[in-house]
Amino acid sequence: MKRYFGLRGTSLNIMISIIAGLDFLLFGYDQGVMGGLLTLNSFVTTFPEGITIASYNLGCFFGAVFCIWIGNYLGRRKTIFTGSIIMVIGATLQSCAYSLPHLIAGRVLTGIGNGMNTSTVPTWQAECSKSHHRGPLVMLEGSLIAGGITISYWIDLGFSFLDPSSVAWRFPIAFQNFFTLVILACVLPLPESPRWLIMKGQGDEYIHSEFAAIKDAVLDADTVSFRDLCTMDENRHLHRVVLAYINQMFQQISGINLITYYAATIYENSIGMDGLTSRIMAACNGTEYFLASLIPIFIIEKVGRRSLMLVGAAGMSLSMAVLAICTSFEGETKPGIAAAVFLFVFNTFFAWGWLGMTWLYPAEIVPPAIFNFLVVMITPVAFENIGYQTYIIFAVINAFIFPVVYFFYPETAYRSLEEMDTIFQNSTSVFNVVSVARNQPHRYGKNGELLINYQDTEEHLRRASHVSEKHGKTFASSGQLESGKGAHIENNQDSISTSS
């Protein structure tokens, strides 16, 4: 078989995006598939709710944390491959489960594999993309999460007619293996991240300016340990990790999982629809969610990350406030219709501002989700005890997100990953990083053209000198790595970098 399936340049970048996108389609499918099964008699009589659903998210958390130790050791592709194998085992266990512990074990395993994948894929995607392509490509992955949720809802609906046969829930759960097997077959033949290969000393020359910037950044970070994530030296690791973590936390505590996992249940119990109608509405909700998520792909670079996050937070807060008001009128038709509409409105604003953003933004500002587990666990309990006031909690949370994003999150549009290093190094506190980013000149234009040659900057001379001292190596002015390291990455770099 030809190297990289015979693909180069833009075609190769598209192939990487397809495989990365499949992983996020799988993530969305896994999120949505269980929600549609909660109203099936054959499933509910066999397994109780609660930890059955939320255990998946707990597994995702541990899988993501596990990547802290194995991610740089295995590399991006092998980590994704390993995570996919674990997912196949987990999904198979779920689909053949006859007891609660059996199902929970499968859910946790699937979560671990998916946590490994979804914490690695955005990094792989971002590191293989040019700065002006990265936003749309990673936002496409977010859109595919919604696509996966949509597919799961419609499959759940179709197979619900087989209830009370257990096939009604076993096939939808097992179907996720279709996506996983495609990923397993395709990920290893694709290129490894150039940044990871350089970190492992497997590099050669390709595009001088960008290569020099990548080389300085990854070799300067080559000796970074887990402890360094808590430091506040010139690299401001703690600052960046906290921003990334809070960004992902905001996504999960916004209330989206309240709708993703319990849409059918909400339509049935809170709005008063029958079981079939509620499943149809949930599927339509997921479809609209996917369509809304396509818009940021085309505008993410034009309007920027901050604007989308701010609009999303404001819209989500307003939607939750309306939902709280409407669902407080139990049994009334018109408020029920309004509540059903605003479940769609909430998903729209979330899709615009936060669906793909938390896969893109953290990968841009740091060299990463237990809150998902929290929301899924507390939602049934909250509805049981405080009813419509559950929505008020999420309305307040989303209102709080708006000022935090405005004052503390710098814009990353049209910035290379190495430029973000420079921005944080030039900031002096958590309060001025936004203004530093606003005033920092761009190295690349909106079409990927070179505006500032990194090799001509004082920063390059300073960092190259520092790297040489730390590693005891001498680097040529062209940006080549020490001779004798081989040229494992040469074709890889050239193939990917010509994507623009």
| Per-residue pLDDT at 477 exceeds 50 | no
Residues shown for the chain = 500
**Residue 436 included in any domain:** no
Higher pLDDT, 493 or 274: 274
- pLDDT tens-digit map of 189-211: 988 877 677 666 655 544 455 55
Closest Cα partner for 175 from 369, 15, 18, 25? 25
The confidence score (pLDDT) of residue 186 equals 92
Residue 256, amino acid:
I
Global pTM? 0.69
Q: How many Å apart are CA 215 and CA 220, to the nearest integer?
A: 8
363-383 in b/e form (b: 16+ CB < 10 A) is bbbbbbbebbbbbbbbbbebb
**Residue 423 included in any domain:** no
Round the average pLDDT of the chain to a whole number and report it.
Answer: 79
**Residue 498 included in any domain:** no
DSSP conformational letter for 158: H
Per-residue pLDDT, averaged over 259-286, amounts to 81
Per-residue pLDDT, averaged over 226-241, amounts to 72
- pLDDT tens-digit map of 113-152: 998 998 888 778 777 776 666 778 778 877 888 899 899 9
The confidence score (pLDDT) of residue 488 equals 44
Higher pLDDT, 488 or 17: 17
Phi-psi region of 163 (alpha: psi -120 to 50; beta: other; left: phi over 0): beta
Determine contact, residues 433/427, Cβ cutoff 8 Å. Answer: yes
Q: How many Å apart are CA 111 and CA 61, to the nearest integer?
A: 8
| Per-residue pLDDT at 468 exceeds 70 | no
How many domains does the chain fold into? 1
The confidence score (pLDDT) of residue 482 equals 41
**Residue 207 included in any domain:** no
- Percentage above 90 pLDDT, the chain: 27
The confidence score (pLDDT) of residue 413 equals 87
Q: How many Å apart are CA 195 and CA 75, to the nearest integer?
A: 10
The confidence score (pLDDT) of residue 180 equals 94
SS3 of 450, please? strand
**Residue 402 included in any domain:** yes
- Asked which of 96-100, 132-136, 213-217, 249-253 is least confident by mean pLDDT, the reply is 213-217
**Residue 349 included in any domain:** yes
| Per-residue pLDDT at 2 exceeds 80 | no
**Residue 464 included in any domain:** no
Q: How many Å apart are CA 73 and CA 360, to the nearest integer?
A: 23
**Residue 469 included in any domain:** no
CATH code for the domain in which residue 88 is found: 1.20.1250.20
Residues 6+ apart with CB under 8 A from 62: 108, 111, 112, 115
Range of the domain at 330: 3-190+225-408
